Amino acid sequence: MLERKRPINHMSEKQRQKRAAAGDTNPFSTLPAGAPLNRAAGGRMSALDRKPPKPSRKRPAVPPTVRDALAERAGGFCEIQRPGCLGQGTDPSHRISQKAGGRHGEAKTRHDRLSNLMWACRRCHDFVTDNPEASKAPNVGWALEEWQRPAECPALYRGRLVLLADDGSMTFLSPNHDLTTA
């Protein structure tokens, strides 16, 4: 058990009675009567004075034109739609992560192609990010390796395999499509 180096100064009964007689509404507080409780009013720092925490994830910006075309292709709904999906898409999900190939110049334009993006709800996007091995399976295609070409690799789009094109179109593949060639 930890021991205090200094004992806690408790308010004596005499001090408490003196404060109560002076009209102090809380004679048990060590703050002077009417003292401000937050720093803005000249008092102590409170939880309200602290800065809000930074968001846990900084989302890389996808150019607005690409983002609009992606949302239009999806019709506003999540394109991944795995079990537990929220339905409404809100996030562009990169099939090849931006960490894998860079964020500037040619790499940026290569990563922001529609064949490399899927419109996802927050829950599906988190699943893809948190489970890269499951998302990279050949019959899923929500995540790809850096060396793969998104336009040539099928993705599971709302339960069906498709090839996504850079112009926003998609080609539905037959259920018995040979995935070993991709």
57: pLDDT confidence band, cut at 50, 70 and 90?
A: low
Question: pTM for this one?
Answer: 0.60
Residue 127: which pLDDT band, with cuts at 50, 70 and 90? very high
Whether 169 is covered by a domain: the verdict is yes
Confidence band for 138, pLDDT divided at 50, 70 and 90: confident
* Residues facing residue 117 across a β-bridge: 94
Is pLDDT of 53 > 90? no
Residue 128 counted as domain residue: yes
* 72 domain-assigned: yes
If you average pLDDT over residues 91-107, what whole number do you get?
73
- Stretch 50-66: mean pLDDT: 67
Cα distance between residue 148 and residue 137, in whole Å: 13
31 located within any domain: no
* Residue 106 located in a structural domain: yes
* Weakest-pLDDT range from 4-8, 70-74, 139-143, 159-163: 4-8
Domain that holds residue 101: 64-181
Span 117-136, mean pLDDT? 91
Measuring CA to CA, how many Å separate 122 from each of 43, 80, 81, 83? 41, 11, 11, 13
The dihedrals phi and psi of 149, each to the nearest 5 degrees, come to -105, 115
Q: Is the model's pLDDT at 51 over the cut of 70?
A: no
Per-residue model confidence as pLDDT tens digits over 23-47: 776 655 666 656 655 555 555 555 5
**Edge-to-edge strand ranges of the sheet holding 155-157:** 155-157, 160-164, 170-172
- Residue 170 falls inside a structural domain: yes
135 burial type by CB count under 10 A (0-12 exposed, 13-18 middle, 19+ buried): buried
What residue type is assigned to position 38 of the chain?
A: N
Question: CA-CA distance, 46 to 94, in Å (whole number)?
Answer: 41
Q: Is residue 97 part of a domain?
A: yes
Indicate if the pLDDT at residue 162 is higher than 70: yes
Rounded-to-integer distance, Cα 83 and Cα 159, Å: 10
Q: Three-state SS for 65?
A: helix
**Whole-number pLDDT of residue 182:** 47
Contact call for residues 96 and 144 (beta carbons, < 8 A): yes
**pLDDT surpasses 60 at 156:** yes
Nearest to 117 by CA among 147, 87, 80, 88: 80
Q: Looking at the 3D structure of the chain, how many domains does it have?
A: 1
The predicted model gives 117-127 an average pLDDT of: 93
pLDDT of residue 119: 94
Q: Are 63 and 97 in contact, with CB atoms under 8 Å apart?
A: no
Structure tokens at 171: 């080609």
In a domain, 47, yes or no: no
